[in-house]
Amino acid sequence: MKKSLMIGAVVSIVVIAAVLLFIQSNQNIRSENTKNITIGSKAPDYNFLLDNGSYANLSKYKGHTTLLWFVATWCSTCAQGNQVVNQNYQFFKSRGIKIVELEMYNDLGYQGPAIANFVSSYAPNAYSNNTVIPALAGYNMTASYDPKGYLDIYYLISSNGTVLYINGSPSYTLGQLEGAINSSL
């Protein structure tokens, strides 16, 4: 009995130590990779995975104003945002705006549909017209652009890679986003 209690205590200590080490290492990674992204700063240029299996980065969209939109595919306001973007995709398309909709790393730990299925379900017109480009953000990109894990945050990036506007929930802030886009062109 004492031997099994002792083994259980040792296993518990090892597990707790491993968890604490994991948390500490992730905090170090996060703090090293978290940039102070503000309006007027240069947007970090991370690679992200497109739904066709290829990699891209913000540099690929140089020359275009780009909206980097970070979502979780289980998020209801993210789904509503897609519906609003779908209803207004002509606005974005007519201004040459590329919307890269990025599923945050590991969908923030919860299960949701694949990003391409999510976008095509809630924004079929914007998806089929290549106005919204579904992609997966890696850990470093998610930690840099969204260090607090907020749902539904977006960055409007100029054609030369400068952050023009930051906000969240396009379903609630579409008018402000449209104003920022119109004033930047």
CATH at 54 = 3.40.30.10
19 and 99 fall within a common domain: no
Asked if residue 80 and residue 16 are part of one domain, the reply reads no
Tell me the average pLDDT across 33-40.
Answer: 74
- Could you tell me if 1 and 58 lie in one domain? no
pTM above 0.85, yes or no: no
Length of the chain, please?
185
Q: Does residue 82 sit in the same domain as residue 29?
A: no
Q: Are residues 11 and 95 in the same domain?
A: no
Question: Could you give the CA distance from residue 148 to residue 156 in angstroms, rounded to a whole number?
Answer: 19
3-state secondary structure of 69: strand
Distance CA 154, CA 174 (A): 11
Judge if 107 and 24 occupy the same domain: no
Among the residue ranges 17-21, 45-49, 114-118, 128-132, the one predicted with the least confidence is 17-21
Residues 60 and 108 in one domain: yes
| Domain boundaries, position 77 | 37-184
Statement to judge: residues 175 and 162 lie in one domain? yes
Count Cβ atoms below 10 Å from residue 146 Cβ, excluding itself: 22
Indicate whether 97 and 143 sit together in one domain: yes
> pLDDT tens-digit profile of 83-122?
999 999 999 999 999 999 999 999 998 999 999 999 999 9
Do both 21 and 43 map to the same domain? no
Number of structural domains in the chain: 2
More confident residue, 14 or 154: 154
